[in-house]
Structure 1
Amino acid sequence: MDADALARQTQNPVANLISVPFQNNTNFNYGPRNHTQNILNIQPVIPFGLNEDWNIITRTILPVISQPGFAPGEGTTFGLGALQVSAFLTPAQSGRLIWGVGVVGQAPTVTDEVLGSRAWGVGPTAVALTMAGQWTIGGLVNNVWSIGGEGSNKYNNFLFQPVLSYNIPQSPGTYLSFSPIITANWEARSGDQWTVPVGLSAGQVFRIGSQPVNAQIGAYYNVVRPDIGPEWQLRAQLQFLFPR
């Protein structure tokens, strides 16, 4: 694939493409003391051919977190967050509408209680998008409920990530992307549930030797956020692509 075709594949969450993204999110003015939180998401995507008509696309997210202390005298906690694995059933040959439906599971891989819940979780997930000219338009949605969690381990979390990308025709492999991660914590008190970022990313597909790579950087400001939520985020991603 050329750079433009690969860039379009990276904008499709259920593309039949093996990839290993490393997405680093630096969250500024986070917590009651307005410190900096850093989350590195390791996000391998592995497709499987179910038969001639259907594919299963697995998407995994393992967060590596550097969490600042909330109270004076508390140091930074570093470790793993909760692992999430999504599996989408999607047609092997899509028309104008590309879609996938499936299930998302959460495993309690946290190495410290301040880094996430120690309860298992499960929920539905879906994605739909279309590619029209230079544009990719769509979105991904899921909701995860804890299983048997009590107190701080109980969760009910919603996620919606719109996909809006423009591929620049004069520069193959270069694109602009609006893909904020909008979340809601339904267990939080009213007024503290939603995080709604607004911002923009720019990306480029290139090769290191024969290895195709997708690099992206962007900034998002949280126009709606919980009291202890970050004010804004710097997102940088390096994604290694393995086209078939």
Structure 2
Amino acid sequence: MKKTFALSVMAFFAFATLSHAQDDAAELAKKLANPIASLVSVPFQNNTDYGIGDMQGMRNTMNFQPVLPISLNKDWNVITRIVAPYVTQYNVTGVGEKQSGLSDAVMSAFFSPKNSEKLTWGVGPAFLLPIATNDLLATKKFGMGPTAVALRQANGWTLGALVNQLWSVAGNADRPDVSQMFLQPFLVYNWKSGAGLGANMEVTQNWKASTTTVWLNPTLSAVTALGEQKTQFVVGPRFNLAAPEGGKADWGWRAVVIFLFPK
């Protein structure tokens, strides 16, 4: 009897611990599906694309994308995000040619209300930072413009979109001016385990060159712990639906590791 009781108590605590872990993973996954959640995270997003253009080039882009939320007062947060790409490409600008280095970065700040009932939203400025270390990967322009995000979360689903528009305001006069829009609609479903299935589209419209680039990125994701470190892993294929003439890729893949620092 005592043995049965002891086993029952152990089973109860094991179940309670597992349930708490699942609830914790589910909450983290929900926050990660929200680009302006109040969660410190450090994502490393790697995109590898093959068969680019007539020369069948290859490009690897590692995006360093830290997110830092700042509490302004009891009603408002500002969510700061930066995307700093490191690019390595072969046979893109010419047969046998290689470029490697930092490309220009984009920094955004979303002012978002802490208490939103049905629709979560944020608006603010975005900046194009000319930090590129290779001329062929650079605009050599400083730019700025507005950015916004809006989303709805319910019953495990997250549906929303992020957009920014950048105009160059300073920089090298010999380089073309920048007028570029980026639009990213996204849809994610997360299970209570923290696993997720989703997709986003990345649409870049270059108004100056009248060109459009579109990527479709289906993803599988999971939240886990590496020791004490909460982590999300994301993986999936990439499909280049549209690109400027001579720049379309045959296919690609995405792999992401996100280190999480919940409060």
Assess same fold via TM > 0.5: yes
Question: Which residue of structure 1 lines up, in the alignment, with residue 178 of structure 2?
Answer: 155
Question: Which residue of structure 2 lines up, in the alignment, with residue 188 of structure 1?
Answer: 209
TM-score, normalising length: structure 2: 0.86
Question: Which residue of structure 1 lines up, in the alignment, with residue 222 of structure 2?
Answer: 204
Deviations 1:88-126 (A, max 9, x none): 000112211100000100111010110121110101000
1:240 corresponds to 2:262: no
Pick from 26, 29, 33 the counterpart of residue 7 of structure 1. Answer: 29
- Equivalent residue of 1:230, what SS? coil
Deviations 1:158-186 (A, max 9, x none): 111112001134xx110001112111111
* Root-mean-square deviation over aligned CA pairs: 1.5
Q: In structure 2, what residue type is equivalent to 1:2? A: D
Q: How many angstroms apart in 1 are the aligned matches of 2:141 and 2:250?
A: 28
Q: In structure 2, what residue type is equivalent to 1:221? A: F
Deviations 1:134-155 (A, max 9, x none): 2101110001111135454422
Count of paired positions: 238
Larger Rg: 2
Question: Which residue of structure 2 lines up, in the alignment, with residue 144 of structure 1?
Answer: 166
Q: In structure 1, what residue type is equivalent to 2:108? A: S
Q: In structure 2, what residue type is equivalent to 1:85? A: M
Pick from 221, 228, 235 the counterpart of residue 239 of structure 2. Answer: 221
On the 8 A contact 1:221/1:233 being kept in 2, the answer is: yes
Give the CA deviation at 1:32.
3.8
Deviations 1:202-232 (A, max 9, x none): 0000001111101000112122222213233
Q: How many angstroms apart in 1 are the aligned matches of 2:174 and 2:199?
A: 35
On the 8 A contact 1:67/1:115 being kept in 2, the answer is: no
On the 8 A contact 2:142/2:169 being kept in 1, the answer is: yes
- Equivalent residue of 1:180, what SS? strand
On the 8 A contact 1:24/1:40 being kept in 2, the answer is: yes
Q: Following superposition, which runs of at least 4 residues in structure 1 exceed 3 angstroms of deviation? A: 148-153
Deviations 1:71-90 (A, max 9, x none): 2342x111101011100000
Q: Quick one: percent identity of the two aligned structures?
A: 39
TM-score, normalising length: structure 1: 0.93
On the 8 A contact 1:64/1:79 being kept in 2, the answer is: yes
On the 8 A contact 1:225/1:231 being kept in 2, the answer is: no
1:35 corresponds to 2:57: yes
Give the CA deviation at 1:29.
1.4
Q: In structure 2, what residue type is equivalent to 1:230? A: A
Q: How many angstroms apart in 2 are the aligned matches of 1:25 and 1:71?
A: 21
1:16 corresponds to 2:38: yes
- Equivalent residue of 2:213, what SS? strand
Q: How many angstroms apart in 2 are the aligned matches of 1:22 and 1:102?
A: 24
Q: How many angstroms apart in 2 are the aligned matches of 1:10 and 1:151?
A: 41
Give the CA deviation at 1:199.
4.1
On the 8 A contact 1:173/1:204 being kept in 2, the answer is: yes
Q: Equivalent residues in 2 for 1:25-174 (5 A)?
A: 25-69=47-91, 70-74=93-97, 76-149=98-171, 150=173, 152-169=175-192, 172-174=193-195
Which deviates further from its counterpart, 108-117 or 27-36?
Answer: 27-36
Q: How many angstroms apart in 2 are the aligned matches of 1:60 and 1:77?
A: 23
Q: How many angstroms apart in 2 are the aligned matches of 1:37 and 1:119?
A: 23
Q: In structure 1, what residue type is equivalent to 2:205? A: A
Structure 1 residue runs of 5 or longer lacking an equivalent are none
On the 8 A contact 2:90/2:96 being kept in 1, the answer is: no
Which deviates further from its counterpart, 90-99 or 220-229?
Answer: 220-229
Q: In structure 2, what residue type is equivalent to 1:72? A: V
- Equivalent residue of 1:140, what SS? strand
Structure 2 residue runs of 5 or longer lacking an equivalent are 1-22
On the 8 A contact 2:103/2:132 being kept in 1, the answer is: yes
